[in-house]
Amino acid sequence: MINSNTTIAHPVYYRIIERRGNGWAFKEGTPFINWFDEPILSQKDLFAAFNTSMKKVAIELFRINGGKQGYYIADIQDKKYYYCGSEWEDVKFKFRELGIGRPDSLET
């Protein structure tokens, strides 16, 4: 059974990245719907499709918060970057601030 506390649904052009030590961990996730039966792109190809790269995104993420440890969201379509916080729940909260997702009905 999927734990709603660890599952986040979001558009493909939003990427979740975690700052760990001196590196960046780009979270891949698992697609659960593919309306147009398109092939699933690799991370590298997905970033290229939006005219960017993981390296360029990492540079922008470092700029917004000095490389602080924790979770970040990159909107690779509109080239917007957000620091979420140090906990996974902070990512869910930031997505809700951006108008993506809704509170789980079981959380109330």
CA 25 to chain centre: 10
Dig out the tokens for 32 from the structure.
């659960």
pTM value is 0.85
Which residues are bridge partners to 49 per DSSP? none
Looking at the chain, the whole-number percentage of residues with pLDDT higher than 70 is 89
Q: Number of C-alpha atoms within 13 angstroms, CB side, residue 36?
A: 3
Residue type at position 25: A
**What are 69-106's pLDDT values in tens digits?**
999 999 999 999 999 999 999 999 999 999 998 776 66
CB 100 within 8 A of CB 11: yes
